[in-house]
Amino acid sequence: MPETLETIDFDENGVCNICRAHEIKHEKIDWGAKKRELDELIENYRDKYDYDCIIPFSGGKDSTFTVYYLIKEYDIKPLVVSFDHLFFRPKTLRNNKRTLKMLDVNFIKFTPNWRVIKQTMLASLKVTGDFCWHCHCGVYAYPMQIAVKFKVPLIFWGEQSSEYTAYYGYGEEEEINKERFSRMNLSLGIEINKMLELTEGLTERDLRPFKFPDLEDLKALNYRSVCLGNYIKWNTRKHSELIQKELGWEPDDVEGVPPQFNYEKVECMLTGVRDWCKYIKRGYERASHLASIEIRQKKMLREEGLKLIEKFEGFRPASLDYFLDIMGFSEEEFNAIMAKHRIPPYVHNFEENLIKGKKLWDQDLWDKTQNLEK
């Protein structure tokens, strides 16, 4: 990974802190003891509330595995909660319906106002070079709001962030709380009051779905909001193969993702655009991230990873046309915004001849509905 990756640091041997964290994961953690901690945690909450736990759910590989594992291993009764950012792809929606029916769970899905989504996307893109503010905040805040509303104190998330970054290290008990929300900058540095200043006509009520619950309310609930990856050794490829076999979960093509990783970030229409923003800002995309995981797990040589990166990174995504269309501005305007957010020492060359990637099979099916003019 390059030095432009957030939280990365290199030691005197040129090895990054994320790789060092994975040495701890594979060599120093007693996963048997961690599993026994999980057993005890679940028994402490079982049958005491309307639901044993809440599981946030997008239908991607990690949240699908989390629901599957907890039900099959512990026979719990969860409330599954989805924050719909309005960019779920058709195959993901089919996967979700199948998964929820096969696992026999209760399910809540919340979809925010489309006008609010568009305004916050544009504001966060201009300020940070990342348009996903509504998704970052909603995905983490809304399930916690549901925990408070339904008085269910145990919340299970998927993998630890230390799989990919160094906001937390392996061995730390990573919990999804206000401190983590701030440490990982999930609001992109844009708090609710700031977003109100950046948008036009939105009110505090419009932005409540994106607000993390007050600490007093969570403490009154005596909540625990934990990563399943704290307790079991996470293996994305293995988990993806399992849910394909047991649930019929279907992988999908994703822009910039090598076909052998067709389980990665399949759920969102705008994965390719977000990765393109990362490339303009930081000089790398998802192939670098995926190759690095394989190298850490000794499933790929570094030389193979570099070839993979050369083959799959640096192509302008076809989905950028869709993004520009629904957002209502030109590629020149988009480039001008992104040029302000580069992370040194990378310098993106906007003048080079870009090769446009192929459309995904479902891109022409994506909804382009706009708001009625008032």
| Predicted confidence band of residue 7 (pLDDT cuts 50, 70, 90) | confident
Of residues 149, 145, 137, the one with CA closest to residue 85: 137
Query: Is residue 44 pLDDT above 70, yes or no?
Result: yes
- Residue with the two structure tokens 């736990």: 53
Mean pLDDT of the region 248-258: 97
Q: What is the reported pLDDT for 296?
A: 86
Beta bridge partners of 109: 82
Greater confidence, 117 or 181? 117
Q: How far apart are CA 347 and CA 210, in angstroms?
A: 33
Query: Is residue 173 pLDDT above 80, yes or no?
Result: no
Per-residue pLDDT tens over the stretch 128-164? 999 999 999 999 999 999 999 999 999 999 988 777 7
Mean pLDDT of the region 324-337: 96
Contact predicate 342/281, CB 8 Å:
yes
Residue 54, CA distances (Å) to 59, 137, 252, 294, 359 in order: 15, 17, 27, 31, 36
Per-residue pLDDT tens over the stretch 265-299? 999 999 999 999 999 999 999 999 999 989 988 89
Q: What is the reported pLDDT for 103?
A: 98
Mean pLDDT of the region 336-353: 91
Query: Is residue 333 pLDDT above 80, yes or no?
Result: yes
Q: How far apart are CA 94 and CA 59, in angstroms?
A: 9
Q: What is the reported pLDDT for 182?
A: 60
Q: What is the CA radius of gyration of the chain?
A: 21
Q: What is the reported pLDDT for 162?
A: 73
Q: How far apart are CA 234 and CA 232, in angstroms?
A: 6
Greater confidence, 371 or 313? 313
Q: What is the reported pLDDT for 154?
A: 97
Contacts of 36 (CB under 8 A, 6+ apart): none
| Predicted confidence band of residue 179 (pLDDT cuts 50, 70, 90) | low
Contact predicate 244/61, CB 8 Å:
no
Mean pLDDT of the region 322-348: 95
Of residues 56, 51, 109, the one with CA closest to residue 76: 51
| Predicted confidence band of residue 247 (pLDDT cuts 50, 70, 90) | very high
Mean pLDDT of the region 179-200: 79
Contact predicate 212/141, CB 8 Å:
yes
Q: What is the reported pLDDT for 119?
A: 97
Domains by residue range for the chain, with CATH: 17-230 (3.40.50.620), 252-365 (no CATH)
Beta bridge partners of 157: 227
Q: What is the reported pLDDT for 351?
A: 82
| Predicted confidence band of residue 209 (pLDDT cuts 50, 70, 90) | very high
Per-residue pLDDT tens over the stretch 26-41? 889 999 999 999 999 9
Greater confidence, 78 or 160? 78
Q: What is the reported pLDDT for 200?
A: 93
> In one letter, which amino acid is 194?
K
Q: What is the reported pLDDT for 374?
A: 59
Query: Is residue 370 pLDDT above 90, yes or no?
Result: no
Greater confidence, 206 or 178? 206
